[in-house]
Amino acid sequence: MSRDPLHGRGARTNVSGRYERFAREAFDDGWAGEEVARLETVVTAEAAKSIISTNQSPDISFDQSINPYRGCEHGCIYCYARPNHAYVGLSPGLDFETKLFVKPNAAALLEAEFAHPRYRPRTIMLGGVTDIYQPIERGYGVTRALLDVMERWRHPVALITKSQLVMRDLDVLARLAERGLAKAAISVTTLDRRIARVMEPRAAAPHRRIETIRALSSAGVPTTVMVAPIVPAINDGEIEAILEECAKAGASAAGYVVLRLPREIKDLFQEWLAQHFPDRAARVMALVRQMRGGRDYDPEWGKRQRGEGPYARLIADRFARACRKLGLDRPRSPLDHTQFRRPPDYGPQGDLFAEG
């Protein structure tokens, strides 16, 4: 029997991006039973001209972010960043997880931005539309280089990941956290290895993420658990169990997002449901639409992260109750923005900012 060439991938197809001139449509050409080569990951260098992205979204807690990569090999089927691949003429499906881009000059660009006389420090989130510790980070090390810049300039930084590779950088994160300059968030969507394997095929196993929370917390890095996304009839029954395990590991705060299906993701996700959960696909989508006003997705600010209606309120109540019980609802201390300063060895002008 031929092995599935998509084994270890999240999407099942390469749906056409919305900006492409031609649409792709799968069909049986008579070779269905023959061996097909497995998809390989291809990485292309991207000559970025700037590195800090800004946003004005009222739904998220940061307004500055850096994404050292475009696309993500983790292959999470639900990833809301998938539609971004359409902007470079690629598919939000398999292309998103196999045709990746790296910004090798990210650290140099960041130092140049920090050195600008008009720059003022505000917390920068590493990640958001890519996982900064996806497998290719082992070779490229762009995330590590960015953290080194943050430490040299004493700049506040937050990060989010679902990879255990973040433990490689515990040294620099611990030093930053000791100064009140770093915090982390770990995404834990399920404790069920089978669900994790098909929903997030190349991300760390659930128990490895719990270990990562324990390691970060033990190193003094304030760590939040993100139960994101909560997928109705797939992982919603695990909310309390996930929070309890993460609290035991040292997590100090928690957040959640309900499943979002913008643009091309709605079709990719339903293909995935039909492949892996055919027995509950109709119920999953019925509950999704119940939380989205009868649609697959509602992009309205204030609703897109949490949904609305009875089922969304039930999730919110359960989450809040569990957080109160486990002490995950305590106020979070902001990172320190007052220590930012030009490193003594950077450029000919000397310090422009006071020592912190």
Q: What is the pLDDT of residue 299?
A: 80
The domain in which residue 196 lies consists of 45-326
Q: Do residues 94 and 41 lie in contact, with contact meaning Cβ atoms separated by under 8 Å?
A: no
Residue 343 lies in a domain: no
Residue 277 lies in a domain: yes
Number of structural domains, the chain?
1
Q: What is the pLDDT of residue 110?
A: 97
Q: What is the pLDDT of residue 354?
A: 42
Q: For residue range 159-199, what is the model confidence (pLDDT) as tens digits?
A: 999 999 999 999 999 999 999 999 999 999 999 999 999 99
CA 351 to chain centre: 35
CA distance 328 to 302: 22
Residue 290 lies in a domain: yes
Residue 95 lies in a domain: yes
Residue 10 lies in a domain: no
Residue 18 lies in a domain: no
The tokens describing 79, both together, are 């990833």
Residue 335 lies in a domain: no
Residue 253 lies in a domain: yes
Q: pTM for the whole thing? A: 0.87
φ, ψ dihedrals at 221, nearest 5°? -90, 115
Q: Which of 12, 8, 86, 73 is nearest to 42 (CA)?
A: 73
* All residues at 6 or more sequence positions from 233 whose CB lies less than 8 Å from its CB, including other chains: 280, 283, 284, 287
**pLDDT under 50: residue ranges of the chain:** 1-2, 19, 21-24, 27-31, 34-36, 348-356
What CATH number is associated with residue 244? Answer: 3.80.30.30
